[in-house]
Amino acid sequence: MGTSTVATAGFDEFIDPLDGRLDASQWILNNAHGFMPVPLMVTDPSVGVGGGAALLFFHETDEQKAKRQADIESVSDIPPSVTGVVGLATSNGSKLAGVFHSGNWMNDRVRYLGGLFGAKFNLKYYPEAQSEAYDYDIGGLYFFQNLDARIQDTNFFLGADYTLMRSDVSFATPKALVGVLPATLSGKGQDASVAIKFMYDNRNNQFSPDEGTKAGIKTSFHDKHIGSDFNYTEYQAYINHYQPINGQWTVAVRADVKSIDGEAPFYAKPFIDLRGIPAMRYQGDDMGLAEVQVNYALDSRWTLLGFAGVGQVKDSRSQNTDEKIHQTYGGGFRYLVARQLGFKAGIDVAKGPDEWATYIQFGSAW
């Protein structure tokens, strides 16, 4: 077999036999060495410009493989397990590396997510309503374990997770700052939590859903008895809903609220997590946000989308907290890169209160 024949055969793995278009399903699933490289681009003003890559390895069960090979038109209703290796760096010296595994076990009766990451971020802290920022860096290790178990044959899940974060914080100009515990101004610390949660999930795909709902409530206990230097409790309630309108239009809505009770380190306070707003730009004891996204399918592969969101934070222990409603908007596109996984990737461009930001999206944005 000549070199050109081998090259052609290899390229054929990236062509979908169903529509003859570029597709990674066969490469990912038919090869023991199959993986999906995902470029990561960072344009978040909080850490500068940079990027990296993630290598995602997909693991099918024998049952999933047999079903897929018997019907090439099928889309997996239970996604294969995924193992990932991630690394990135940015222009201001921030960097991150780690590994994770997402597993679907016992025919999706048990879902697992766990990982270990090491990172060093050079960030800015905005005390409450102040516009003046203070430079600090935080580095260390982050370890997490998460397990969800389906309740009988329903779409309801009970779950628990454990997180451990060992950090070393240093402010460029150490001094007393509003909202910052003296113990976290400089030096090493450890924050650990155990959480219990209840979730409903009937989405038609865990990677890039376009129908169904994921909603849940979660309570996380941070306590010295489980290895934390801090005592506080975090509460969360959220819902993501995807509603198809017809064969081309889909509307997705999202709402998320978080609240903390106790003495939390400043970097653990809830923040507005919306496309277009730098991470940790707006923080408080209480946070709420809502976002809507409208998708238009150009064909079976390409999708255009537009979105808009609002968010607000409050600090229950201060009269100076920023309680403005912050707005974002933007647009983007998705391409169905692995049809038999129902997996899409693309780019979003968003405008927040201060500036524009660009995101390379792996699957759904939320």
Q: Lowest mean pLDDT of 68-82, 102-116, 303-317, 345-359, name the range.
A: 68-82
DSSP codes of every residue in 100-139: EEEEEETTTTEEEEEEEEEEEEEEEE--TT----EEEEEE
Determine the 3-state secondary structure of 335 from DSSP.
strand
Q: Lowest mean pLDDT of 142-156, 215-229, 288-302, 310-324, name the range.
A: 310-324
Does the structure show a pLDDT above 90 at 299? yes
Give the pLDDT score at 9: 45
Q: Lowest mean pLDDT of 28-32, 195-199, 216-220, name the range.
A: 28-32
> Could you read off the pLDDT of 340-349 as tens digits, one per residue?
888 999 999 9
Q: What percent of the chain has pLDDT over 90?
A: 55
> Could you read off the pLDDT of 233-281 as tens digits, one per residue?
999 999 999 999 988 999 999 999 999 999 898 889 999 999 999 888 8
Q: How confident is the model at residue 58 (pLDDT cuts 50, 70, 90)?
A: confident
Q: Alpha-carbon distance 191 to 185, whole Å? A: 15
Decide if domain 100-362 falls under CATH 3.30.70.3270: no
Give the pLDDT score at 8: 46
- ∠ Cα 225 261 309 (to 5°): 125
Range with top average pLDDT, 76-85, 164-173, 286-295: 286-295
Rounded to two decimals, what is the model's pTM? 0.87
Does the structure show a pLDDT above 70 at 72? no
Residues 313, 271 contacting (CB under 8 angstroms): yes
Q: What is the dihedral of CA 359, 277, 316, 259, to 10 degrees?
A: -10
Average pLDDT for the chain:
87
Q: How confident is the model at residue 313 (pLDDT cuts 50, 70, 90)?
A: very high
